[in-house]
Amino acid sequence: MNSATSPSLFDPVSLGALTLPNRVLMAPLTRCRAEAGNVPGPMMAEYYAQRASAGLIIAEATSVSPRGFGYPSTPGIFTDAQVAGWRRVTDAVHAAGGRMVLQLWHVGRISHPDFQPNGELPVAPSALKPRGQVFTGSAMADYVTPRALEISEIPGVIAEYLHGATFARQAGFDGVEIHNANGYLLDQFLRDGTNQRTDGYGGSVANRARLTLEVTEAVISVWGADRVGIRFSPGGVFNDMHDSNPIETFGHVLRELSRRNLAYAHITQVTAQDIAHGAQGGVGPKELRPYYGGSIVSAGGFTGDSGNQALAEGWANAIAFGVPFLANPDLPARLRQNAALNPPDESTFYTPGPKGYTDYPAL
């Protein structure tokens, strides 16, 4: 594709039923700013409205279940109060001219009894303890060995995603994104490093992909396929993840999803920082493009120039920016003007209050 006809970050694009004025998307970013009851408050509405110039805001990961939490002060989407809180956010974003989808989340084993109802064990496909530690809100603690879900419980998990998708509609979102990345529950089922089941949800690639596809069908039943996206991190090792053949695993699930005509697949690329932590290069949106016939959103350390290059090469249709959007509420304007970017303050990424949240200046 020559540069004269290549799309740029500032060209409009349609992802399913989502018509976007530009291809600079805001990636989902956990910020730990929810109020009591895991309810989004006014500060979250202000934060997202400041970033409404994004082609699309993908809201932070939001738990579909009381069992789906693994971090302090993260939002949920299963109570009426949470719906009302999110409605304040979507109203503010829409009033500022923006579009917003909600990322539906269940952390699976990446949790701790302190986050679980009645102090129970977290659930997972298999009873495999992840390496690493979790911040419980008061201290760092080792992850525990989770409880493997019984096959009879899996319809209940699917129902939680269905309920979350239904509540996301009531909260005024423009669509949803299924979180199937970063070592959380659906990713745990998909990859053979975390799924050692011997029933219909384990073993073969088709069995390991079953829960992803069943959850997707449930969410489509609420939204229609053209307002549903899904996120994968095929080369990632975050949260002690690995797979023996990621191209086969993710190629299979993407081929299956191609037939469902989703709004988009959101596929992260591996960054140099990821590789330094043991991630596998060469397993990302570029390599998986042949397996997926629909639109691809990519994320992972992009700049304006590298984002435009990905669009020109055809393996991404839009680019999601994470940390740059966190620190630059007017990121599309800054990229268009080649303006300097605000540096992010990592010490405030997950701390309460407006500092490092709603106080980054626009141009």
pLDDT at 129: 97
The pLDDT score that the predictor gives to residue 1 is 44
pLDDT of residue 138: 87
pLDDT score recorded for residue 4: 57
Torsion of CA 193, 195, 199, 201, to 10 degrees: -110
Query: Which sequence positions are flagged as catalytic?
Result: 184
What does DSSP say about strands 147-148 and 175-179: parallel, antiparallel, or unpaired?
Answer: unpaired
The Cα 170–Cα 79 span in angstroms is 11
Domains of the chain plus CATH, in order, are 13-348 (3.20.20.70)
The pLDDT assigned to 275 comes to 80
Query: pLDDT (tens digit, 9 = 90+) per residue, 84-94?
Result: 999 999 999 99
In the chain, which ranges are continuous DSSP H helix?
42-50, 80-95, 154-170, 185-190, 205-208, 210-223, 246-258, 272-276, 285-288, 304-313, 323-327, 331-337
Residues 6-49: tens digit of each pLDDT:
899 999 999 999 999 999 999 999 999 999 999 999 999 999 99
Which residues does residue 140 pair with via DSSP β-bridges, in sequence order? 135
Q: Is the dihedral of CA 299, 300, 306, 312 positive or negative?
A: negative
From first CA to last CA, the distance across the chain in angstroms is 33
Rounded to whole angstroms, how far apart are CA atoms 182 and 283? 14
Model's pTM, two decimal places? 0.97
Question: Contact, 145 vs 127, CB < 8 A?
Answer: yes
For the chain, list residues with pLDDT below 70.
1-4
The pLDDT, as a whole number, for residue 237 is 85
Q: Which two tokens stand for residue 316?
A: 């991404």
